Amino acid sequence: MDYFTLKTIIAVVFILAGLTAFVSMLTLMGKQEKKISPQSLRMVHKTAGVVFFLLALVLVFFGFRYWAKAGDLVSVRAVLHAVLALGLLVVLLIKISIARFYKQLLKYAPTLGIVIFSFAFVVFCTSAGFFLARSIMGASLEKNIEQPGVAAVRGNIDAGQSLFQKKCSSCHFSDKKEKKFGPGLAGLLRESTLPSSGKSATRKNIIGQLQQPLKAMPAFPDFSDKELADLLAFLETL
């Protein structure tokens, strides 16, 4: 099981725990007639809340790990995801503090619970939800991009190696197949398929992966034809 699949499974359980805590809170606070006793609802709410909090910490760890390895190559979506996750964590800690130490402010707990679940849902959609959508529908939505200009440009291996070191080496090994953060790229164009997209290992599909990547790889839509040709020339030597 790869890193992103594991993170997505944890995120799904995280959002389900948040939903359980949210619905049990609404039922406890809002319904006059309850099919489940208030004591049971409080237990469900508390248990789901603990699971939600613990999984939030696990996902924060994964987030820091991603940022540490990706460096400045994170996408705009990843930055938005991080800001929202930080907001979620702050509000969650405020709610926990009120429940534990400032019980005179408990009247604000339901409102904070609604805010927390709203944050959690948006955070989920910008990360695991996005990953699931790309994994399920990527094959039908993603285009195999071929830039005619790339074929007309003669690639420079040294320039491609320099570009790889600057833009790609923080996530990929060039001299082995072992995973770093993304898959190792040794022998990339001698394989039958690309490691992330599963498409045929061709120059055309590498360009497609660079411009419309699957999974958490950042996109590089601003690479010029010359840069693409240089990078492909270097990848062909691996």
pLDDT digits (tens, 9 = 90+) for 203-230: 888 888 888 887 667 788 888 888 998 9
pLDDT of residue 143: 43
pLDDT of residue 27: 86
Using CB atoms within 10 Å of the CB of residue 18, give its burial: 0 to 12 exposed, 13 to 18 middle, 19+ buried. Answer: buried
pTM of full prediction above 0.75: no
**Confidence class of residue 74 from pLDDT cuts 50, 70 and 90?**
low
Q: Among positive and negative, which fits the CA dihedral 52, 53, 55, 59?
A: positive
CB atoms within 10 A of CB 121: 17
Range of weakest confidence among 43-47, 125-129, 194-198, 226-230:
125-129
Q: Whole-number mean pLDDT of the chain?
A: 82
Domains of the chain: 3-137 (1.20.120.1770), 142-235 (2.60.40.420)
For residue 193, what are its two tokens?
């398929």
**Over 80: is that where the pLDDT of 58 sits?**
yes
